[in-house]
Structure 1
Amino acid sequence: MTGRRRTSTTPPVRPQRTGSRVSTKVKARALIAGAVVACASIAVGCGVVPGITGGSGDDPITVMTWAPQDTPATNKPGMPAMAEAYARWINANGGINGHKLKVLTCNDHNDTVYAAKCARRAADENVVAVVGSYSQHGRSFLAPLEAAGIPYIGGYGVTDDEFSSPLSYPINGGEPALLAGLGEQLGKKCGPVALVRPDTVAGDQLPVLLNAGLKAEGHAAGTDQRAAEDATEYSRQTELALGRASSDPLKQGCVVSALGDRTETFMDSFRRDRQDYPKVGTGTVLGSLDQSLIDSTGGQSSPYEGAHVTGWYPVASDKRWDQMRKVIKEQAFGDNRIDPADAGVQTTWIAYNVLKSVVESLGDSPITSLAIRHALDNGLKVTTGRLTPTLSWRYEDLIAAVDFPRLVNAHVTFQVVRKGQLASERNGFIDVSRTLETADSN
């Protein structure tokens, strides 16, 4: 979990909201309506002019996937690698409606300038969508995409901008849902909670979201410990967090690490210092922890044993991932960039299946950026093999969270590290939309 540096089974249907929640949803819809009107007022903006064509007749459908690679902070090389493997699989099986899928990739270097360059390249290359991507710099890449009318489908959800742009179509609840869900997960299990998170703009929202989840379970707010996202050691942060988590001798406290790729570095310090605090537990989110990290740090003897983990999707061992694993084996065997347990790889897989559903829904019509957006905006329902709830991006499907007006899927899964394996702690999806709706008032 990182940010911009400073300089179930099918879940139950929610009941109809009434009272103050309705007014909140009206505000959320008004924000989007205003954004759409603003787009329409710009002659060349937001793709209101005829959309970019990426698949007319038998032409290939050209899309792009980007992610940071080879940087000192969070890296997601498996996402563009998964996109390329998906294209090879689709094309080996006749394409989508007879169209070959052409995937362009870009490295955003965790840098605002490079993120904008990736977006401008997408426009220059006439891509019809950016799919299954990761970037910490939403403001930098969304403006060029909006100007070109290119939809952003299935971003990782690391920035608030992905949940406000009218051209963004998120497939998960991003970092907001994970932190709110983790707060709910820990609220009934932990005493004092200490959060260690990046000292970044995106990191600043994490305490608010975690505390909203804790409050939903009647728990006191946790403490907030900032840390550099590219630090090489975290001894000071570890000592402070352990001290705060053990402040109540009658309750087992929990330390929450939300440092993305640097979680492993943090846990090196945590493992050493924890000997003096044997009762302190841990909590984190998918993206900061996955099965490969557990394996590489000792499996059942790793410092993550017993950790509570919140994710967007079913555990990686679930049979619902079998198709993805088969594609990786067939099309990317030996490519060590692709870890099927990585939340970024999983997000890219789901996002490309959303794209496939959209293109199939268009039949023989030209495949343009505008046509894709119209299909998504007009109520197309996309199933993902129960890896998420059914997805739809109509106004009616938005949750009533003013800060996240494009968020349509606020479901998470509760997991636990048991005998060295990530396992389901609770069956099915947990809907944290109500927690997110009230987060700004906590």
Structure 2
Amino acid sequence: MTGRRRPSTVRTHTHTWSARIRALGTAVAGASLITGCGVIPGTSGGSPAPVTVMTFAPVGTNATNMPGMPAMAKAYARWVNSSGGIDGHELRVLTCNERNDSSAAADCARRAVKEDAVAVVGSYSQFGKEIMAPLEAASIPFIGGYGMSEEEFTSFLSYPVNGGQATLLAGNGQQLAPDCDRTALVRPDTITGDDLPDLIDAGLAHGRRGEAADVRAAEDATDYTKAAELARERAGDGGCVTAVLGEKTETFFDSYRRVPEDGRTIRVSSVLGSVGQPLIDSTGGKNGPFEGALLTGWYPVASDPAWKPMRDVIEKHAFQDDAIDPADPGVQTTWIAYTALKKVVEAIHEDVITPGKITNALDRGLKVDTGGLTPPLRWRYEDMLGAPGFPRIVNRDVTFQVVRNGRLVPERKGFVDVGKTLGA
């Protein structure tokens, strides 16, 4: 038998018959392994071992919720497993409710470690420190997070697929600069929200505009009338009001449209994820408050043909799950993150996938083609932005969109690189 040490001395002829029978049994068992009977799955000669990953996001909270992200992950798994898995590996997806809570976020990360996940994929959390500490201790990579926390762009185990809030806000400022004399930014009064004014100011400066007025608002408020009134006052005639409150942006603009008109012309704006086509439709379409609104996103508009593969998977494998909106950037980010995971597992092409093999493949320059949804993604050192606070951004592109006749359409064709705006 291979791997068995030879005895250093010759045994005497004192073996009993029972010892000889035990030896024969051992030899037979060994032969069965060599010939393939009883091969352990995932070892050499067996079938590829399952690949276990986790996707977490807040669900059912009073602040921003992202139920479409874990739902999209489950649909993706059903899709790939229906055709033999990823390179023969069954994809097992664990989901966890992050609850917009630091303790719950840490619990999700610790569960990923406990259940031997090889990666966290396409997830959402503001609590980067709480998430990355357990993952880093276990050397588990984080692929394609939503981009809400600083750690997603600083941790050596994070592989972002978009530029996070940094590129959205810098891009939004750059998009607004040509059309807005002054800008008022309505943002959450949180630690994460504290970074947003500097980012939008960088974009405004790119267009030689002054700083945006900073209007803080509670993340979980049920009425934003005072914030709306203050934003209109700060923007002034010919100005713009941009709101970045996640799910609560809808509540803000509901309050905003109820503020009495005063004759001033004020344009509204936001970023994708805070405003999308469903909200535009529900507030009156072309007759609603978002007609003419300027919006900044990471990806092409939801009607772009590049999204067809994702839409097909949702149609066939989501079982009419209402949580999955193909226009939701969280759903879109999850699709792109799992696209990256699939490319990595296929490139490794081994029976057992480990966290270390995934990080090695990514660090060594594996390129991920997302079918035009992003530029080709690669996480080598030379591909990273290197901007202060966001060194691991590899996708510095955004899209400029506008609402015309009640529909989100491109304001400008293709992607806009905001790397220089961020100081790279």
What TM-score, normalized to structure 2? 0.88
1:434 aligned residue: 420
How far apart are the structure 1 equivalents of 2:402 and 2:42?
Answer: 44
Match of 1:306 in 2: 292
Quote how far apart the aligned CAs of 1:365 are: 5.3
1-structure distance, mates of 2:374, 2:264 = 36
Distance 2:294 2:186 in 1: 15
CA–CA distance in 2 between the matches of 1:382 and 1:315? Answer: 21
Q: Which position in structure 2 is the counterpart of 1:62? A: 52
Are the equivalent residues in 2 in contact too, given 1:55–1:367 (CA < 8 A)? no
Change (3 A) 1:307 1:274: farther
What is residue 380 of structure 2 aligned with on the other side? Answer: 394
Equivalent residue for 2:186, pick from 162, 185, 196: 196
Provide the secondary structure at the position in 2 that maps to 1:413. strand
Q: Distance in 2 between matches of 1:318 and 1:394?
A: 29
Asked whether the equivalents of residues 242 and 274 of structure 1 are also in contact (C-alpha less than 8 Å), the reply is no
Please say if 1:373 is aligned against 2:351: no
Secondary structure of the residue aligned to 1:434 is: coil
| 1:41-120 map, 5 Å | 57-120=47-110
Contact 2:48–2:351 (CA<8 Å) still a contact in 1? no
Q: Indicate the residue corresponding to 2:239 in structure 1.
A: 253
Aligned letter for 2:84? G
Aligned to 1:23: none
- Report if aligned partners of 2:48, 2:352 keep a CA contact under 8 Å in 1: no
Structure of higher CA gyration radius: 2
Deviations 1:264-314 (A, max 9, x none): 111111111162245100110011011111111111122111110000000
CA separation in 1, counterparts of 2:220 and 2:109?
A: 25
State how far apart, in whole Å, the 2-side matches of 1:123 and 1:400 are: 29
The answer on whether the counterparts of 1:274 and 1:280 sit within 8 Å (CA) in structure 2 is no
Q: Take 1:419 and 1:135, find their aligned partners in 2: how far apart are those partners?
A: 34
Could you tell me whether the CA contact under 8 Å between 1:378 and 1:394 is conserved in 2?
A: yes
1:34 maps to what in 2? none
> Which runs of structure 2 are paired with 1:341-360 in the superposition (5 Å)?
341-360=327-346
Runs of 5+ unmatched residues, structure 2 = 1-40
Gaps in structure 1 of 5+ consecutive residues: 1-53
Hey, which bits of structure 1, 4+ residues long, moved more than 6 A? none
Distance 2:263 2:101 in 1: 38
**Deviation at residue 366 of structure 1 after TM alignment:** 2.7
One of 215, 231, 234 as aligned partner of 2:205: 215
Amino acid at match of 1:370: G
Q: CA RMSD in A?
A: 1.2
Give the Cα separation in 2 of the matches to 1:312 and 1:171.
10
- TM-score scaled by length of structure 1: 0.85
Aligned to 2:118: 128
- Counterparts of 2:42 and 2:268 in 1: how far apart (Å)? 48
> Hey, what's the Cα distance between the residues in 2 that align with 1:142 and 1:55?
28
Between the aligned partners of 1:168 and 1:406, the Cα distance in structure 2 is: 8
In the comparison of the two structures, how many residue pairs are matched? 381
Q: Which residue of 168, 180, 188 maps to 1:178?
A: 168
Deviation at 1:193, TM superposition (A): 0.3
